[in-house]
Amino acid sequence: MAISRYLASWKNLAGCTGGLIGLGLHFAGVAGSYWVVVVVGLYGVGALLAPPERITLVTDPEEEAGALKSELDALVRKVHGLKVPDEVAPKVAEIAEVLHGLLDRPRELRADPDALHAVTRLVGTDLPLSVQTYLNLPWWYAAARGSGAELVRQLDLLHADAIRTAERFHAADAQRQADHTRYLEDRE
């Protein structure tokens, strides 16, 4: 994959142009017996002087949302298969349900940078960190310190954060619905 990408790159095309100029110099009798070094050198110069490939920082919203959904679903499955307090798996599933509601509308989510950041942070950092930190503790240590209750408290805070984000995200839709209701009532 990387080789085919390089072969189609501007660097390779510029290097090939330099190499062709080197071959032209050889056939013109200018390069002499060092023609191979000239061809390789001009290829290298062309490849070095070519502009770098453009990096696309913006990904497709559907791909980005799909990746976040996969990560979230993997965490939900992981929690169901682990020895965690009884309240943990349902709370993680509730958080996932709220976040799925946002991720199911990837274009609208991309248009709201605050919501996108919050969802990305919740799925990629906060939720996995809470669960993994609990799992890193030995069972006897977690039981002695009440770490299960601490994890449940963290999940409650993350659930509240997800709900706040969803409410902000869906506020415009709720307002449109209320406006449409007023319009229908005024029409009568």
Q: What is the pLDDT of residue 55?
A: 66
pLDDT for 69 beyond 80: yes
Higher pLDDT, 36 or 58: 36
pLDDT for 153 beyond 90: yes
* Average of per-residue pLDDT across 4-8: 80
Q: What is the pLDDT of residue 56?
A: 62
CA atoms within 13 A on the CB side of 40: 4
Q: Give the model confidence (pLDDT) of 87-136 as tens digits.
A: 889 999 999 999 999 999 988 988 888 999 999 999 999 999 999 988 88
Torsion sign over Cα 53, 58, 64, 67: positive
Q: How far apart (Å, rounded) are the C-alpha atoms in residues 130 and 95?
A: 13
